Amino acid sequence: MNKQSNAPAPNDLNTWDRDHNLHPWTNIRDWRKTDFMRVNTAQGIHIWDSEGKRYIDGPGGMWCVQIGYGRAEMAEAIAAQAMAMPYASPWSFTTEPAALLARKLAEMTPGDLNTVHFTAGGSTAVDTAIRAMQFLNNRLGRPDKKIVLSREKAYHGSTYLAATMTGKERFKTRFDKADNLVRFLPDVNPYHRPKDMGMAAWCDAKIADFEQMIAEIGPEHIGAFIAEPILCSGGVIVPPPGYHQRTHEICRRHDILYISDEVVTGFGRLGHWFASQDVFGITPDIITCAKGLTSGYVPLGACILSDALMEHLAGGQGDDVFYNGYTYCGHPVACAAALKNIEIMEREDILDHVRRVTPHFQSRLRHIGETFEIVGDARGMGLLGCLECRPDLSEETYAKHLQFGVKLDALCEAQGLLLRPFGNMAVFSPPLIITTDEIDEMFDIMEAGLSQLSAEYTG
Ligand code: PLP
């Protein structure tokens, strides 16, 4: 077969994409049947498709486009670094952007989290965190203390180890996982608590789950607890107040490392650089981040470790070499982009902006929950939101319930708003620069879509 390609006509691009580009989470049954929206340009909170139709980017890329699209100075910073020094092996060299960014992140993170291991994205940041825990316990002579506690509905990534820590719809996957390395705590979603149970009692119940699992496994076998401050891909699940502080305190008591996976919550989503300390009052041992670190302009992640952990690592015995690293650790172009991203966020005081527009965003979200019968739960925090379909609508089939996200997204898309459907839920996390008027436009479209959907669902 002649594999040479000719210059593309616009329709060819869709065909070639279908035939040759295996997208993430492809349903293999529909392989080569699905056309993805082809997007050409973007500016601010908007993206345009190849037909010239404009959309509000409700998902903010993939929870990541904090400063919005079309920032010329980002492009210039990226180009300047690519011209000056596009790549330097992190095994042999450092560069100005890598050193500056490591220092900057050390300043921004809470407590003594001062050591940064750069990665290629969020999954590799999570891998690094888990491997650091394994390395630590091997060096401290406790090779049996390595089980990781994770949670149902958690998402930590798509590499073997990060996918192993992921508690989402595990039963559906045909990929292998290292199941012996992890145990999953039951759902923490307050929406799923028994009808007559208050929030404080739900928190007590979740802490009881946590303590019971530690007792069952034995703390001497548990190396770490990994937790997203908010379980975002699980459907923006905000654990009950006090949950993080209590689990953190229990981890301290049992010498279990606390890994806070801030791949989504980091870099302003909740109005702070990091949510662990400023929003939830804990200083973890490790923070993982990615996404908003560069606002999605180029890939970069980081695993940030505490001084106490590093001292323990250094003080142990056995093989001294931390054999973890990637060709693109501290990639100079990515680090330059991250520095520019942070500079823009500081200059424009985007964290303060998020804190100012959040009450309006959250009140429009709650209003939906109070207004539409088909919405069982409208939840969120900061500029994160989720609408979950009511499970108990009469006459509803389970299949229809699971179509809620896709159907609502399609209705909103027709009106110029993109959402992210997750089965019976639709989630959104717009660029952090979104204005109050744009928030209104977003929610007006959602409400119109829900009115239409209500007619279909409840007759
Ligand atoms: N951790 C969390 C909390 C995430 O939401 C994600 C991605 O959505 C990841 C890790 C994986 O990051 P990446 O896709 O950059 O590998």
- pLDDT confidence of residue 174: 83
Confidence band, pLDDT 50/70/90 cuts, at residue 459: low
Burial 131-151 (b: 16+ CB within 10 A, else e): bbbbbbbbbbeeeebbbbbbb
Please answer whether residues 67 and 77 qualify as being in contact, where contact means their C-beta atoms are separated by less than 8 angstroms: no
At 121 the pLDDT is 98
Question: How large a percentage of the chain has pLDDT more than 90?
Answer: 87
Which pair of tokens denotes residue 154? 């958690």
Distance separating alpha carbons of residues 211 and 250, to the nearest angstrom: 8
Q: What pLDDT is stored for residue 6 in this prediction?
A: 65
Instruction: Check residue 7 and give its pLDDT.
Output: 73
Instruction: Report the alpha-carbon distance of residue 193 to residue 209 in Å, rounded.
Output: 13
pLDDT in tens, 306-324: 999 999 998 888 888 999 9
- Please say whether the beta carbons of 145 and 220 come within 8 A: yes
Is residue 355 pLDDT above 60, yes or no?
yes
pLDDT at residue 1, as a whole number = 45
Query: Which is nearest to 159 in space by CA: 131, 180, 118?
Result: 131
What is the per-residue pLDDT for 2? Answer: 54
How many angstroms separate the alpha carbon of residue 445 from the centre of ligand 1? 28
* Per-residue confidence (pLDDT) for residue 395, from 0 to 100: 55
| Mean pLDDT along residues 97-121 | 98
Atom of ligand 1 nearest to the CA of 122: 12
294 lines ligand 1 (CB under 6 A): no
pLDDT recorded at residue 317:
86
DSSP 232-298: -TTT-B-PPTTHHHHHHHHHHHTT-EEEEE-TTTTTTTTSSS-HHHHTT----SEEEE-GGGTTTSS
How many angstroms separate the alpha carbon of residue 197 from the centre of ligand 1? 32
Give the distance (Å) from ligand 1 centre to CA of residue 4: 35
pLDDT digits (tens, 9 = 90+) for 380-418: 999 999 999 998 765 556 777 889 999 999 999 999 999
Question: Which pLDDT score, from 0 to 100, does residue 8 have?
Answer: 77
The CB of 151 under 6 Å from ligand 1? The reply is: no
Q: What are phi and psi of 423, to 5 degrees?
A: 55, -115
Nearest atom of ligand 1 to the alpha carbon of 265: 3
Task: Answer whether 122 contacts ligand 1 (Cβ < 6 A).
Answer: yes
CB atoms near residue 325 (< 10 Å): 16
Question: Can you tell me which residue has the tokens 């049992």?
Answer: 254
pLDDT tens, residue by residue, 132-186: 999 999 999 999 999 999 999 999 999 999 999 999 765 567 888 899 999 999 9
Q: Please tell me the predicted confidence (pLDDT) of residue 240.
A: 98
Average pLDDT, the chain: 95
Model confidence at 457, pLDDT cuts 50, 70, 90, reads confident
How much is the pLDDT for 38?
94
For 255-270, how does the pLDDT look when each residue is reduced to its tens digit (9 = 90+)?
999 999 999 999 999 9
**Residue 41 per-residue DSSP state:** E
Work out the average pLDDT over 53-70: 98
User: For 220-248, how does the pLDDT look when each residue is reduced to its tens digit (9 = 90+)?
Assistant: 999 999 999 999 999 999 999 999 999 99
- In angstroms, the first-to-last Cα distance of the chain is 54
Q: How many helices (H) and strands (E) does the chain have?
A: 15, 15
Q: What is the pLDDT of residue 92?
A: 97
Percent of the chain whose predicted confidence (pLDDT) is above 70: 97
244 CA distance to ligand 1 centroid (A)? 20
For ligand 1, mutation pick of 64, 65, 156 (most atoms within 8 Å of CB): 156
Q: Which range has highest mean pLDDT (14-18, 31-35, 402-406, 407-411)?
A: 407-411
Backbone angles phi, psi at 377, to 5 degrees: -145, 130
For the CA of 124, the nearest atom of ligand 1: 16
pLDDT at residue 455 greater than cutoff 60: yes
Q: Residue 66 above 70 pLDDT?
A: yes
